[in-house]
Every structure is written in C-alpha cells, then in structure tokens.
Amino acid sequence: MAKYRKLSRTSDQRKALLRNQVTALLYYGKIETTEAKAKEIRKIAESIIALGVKEKDDYELVKVQAKVARKDKDGKRVKEVKDGKKVTVYDEVEKEIKKDNPARLHARRQMLKVLQPVVSVPSDNAGKKRATKKIDMVAKVFDELAPKYADRKGGYTRIIKVGPRKGDAAMMVIIELV
C-alpha cells in the first residue's frame, strides 16, 4: 500500500503542486480543489501547523545596535555632501529581535522546505512593482496560526464536499483552516 497519492504526476510536479497548494491554504485560509489533492494537502498543512504550535515560544529576545537611514518628513533618505559626494546619513538605533533557539530554527527550516514565498500586491497599486511586498509565510505560521491553535490537539483543517466538477466529474471539495 502506498503512503501517498501520486495524483497522476511525476514526483517533481507533484511536490510543486502540493507546495503551492499548502502555501495557498495557509495564506488564504481556504482553497477549492479535488478530494484526492485535499487529502494530501491536509497531511502536510497539519504537520506544519503542529510544528508551529510546538515551537511558537522557543526564542530569546536580543537587543542589537542597528544603523538606520535618517528620513525627512516625506519619507525620503536625508543626504549630505562629504568630499564632493552625496552620502546618506545613518543613525544608531537599538532594536529588539527574536533569536530562534535550535529547535525552533530546525522547525523553521522544515517549514521552508514546503512553503513558497508569497508576493502580495495591493489592488489599488496593481501592476506597480514598487507596491508589492513579500510575506514571510513561516513568520505567519509562528505569529498568527500557532497562537490560534495552541490549545487544540490536531485537526486544524476541515474538508467540505462541494460536488462533482463539470468537465470530468472529479469530486470537488473546499479545504479550510478550522
């Protein structure tokens, strides 16, 4: 008996499909797909959320000195002339960052093997590259999803049957985070 469904794809295509769908599920909270794909997605998504829940508080807060560019009232960098060249002015700022302990770092790397980077584009700035922003899916799992499911012992997803697809009568389902 096989441990996974092949989904009529080669291994690299199947891995890419599942990575994309798991990332979409964790980003949007709900996706529509076929029943066989949803059952495979559920395994991966639940293990990622379980990793996040297990390691959500395993970090240290560390204070570091950082150089930050000084900005004017319009949000542009302040420049001054030194030796005939325009140079950006930097200020020393003390920041507090989260430093992962080894177990959380390992969990982060396990999640990165599956989760794809997500680029968000606001609807009012469609087509403008400057308006896009990258969303760190691992941080979303640790900061948003893990606290939400901290008191839950598994069962983070739900599969709801929608009905057969018109073209090939494949059973369509909605898989969502509970």
Residues 52 and 109 in one domain: yes
Name 102's Cβ contacts closer than 8 Å, sequence gap at least 6.
none
Q: State both tokens at 29.
A: 């909270």
- Let me know if residue 159 belongs to a domain: yes
Concatenating the DSSP letter of every residue in 62-129 gives EEEEEEEE-B-TTSPBPEEEETTEEEE-EEEEEEEEEEE-HHHHHHHHHHHTTPPPEEE--GGGTT-G
Longest dimension (CA), the chain: 74
Residues 64 and 50 in one domain: no
Residues 133 and 170 in one domain: yes
Question: Domain range for residue 64?
Answer: 59-100
Residues 110 and 165 in one domain: yes
Residues 64 and 52 in one domain: no
Residues 109 and 166 in one domain: yes
Q: Are strands 157-164 and 90-100 parallel, antiparallel or unpaired?
A: unpaired
- Let me know if residue 3 belongs to a domain: no
Residues 96 and 110 in one domain: no
Residues 148 and 71 in one domain: no
- Let me know if residue 168 belongs to a domain: yes
Residues 53 and 121 in one domain: yes
Residues 90 and 110 in one domain: no
Q: How far apart are CA 22 and CA 41, in angstroms?
A: 6
Q: How far apart are CA 177 and CA 155, in angstroms?
A: 9
Residue by residue, pLDDT tens for the chain (178 residues) are 578 999 999 999 999 999 999 999 999 999 999 999 999 999 999 999 999 999 999 999 999 999 999 998 888 899 998 888 999 999 999 999 999 999 999 999 999 999 999 998 877 766 677 778 899 999 999 999 999 999 999 999 999 999 999 999 999 999 999 9
Q: Are strands 171-177 and 133-135 parallel, antiparallel or unpaired?
A: unpaired
Residues 165 and 122 in one domain: yes
Task: Report pLDDT for 1.
Answer: 55
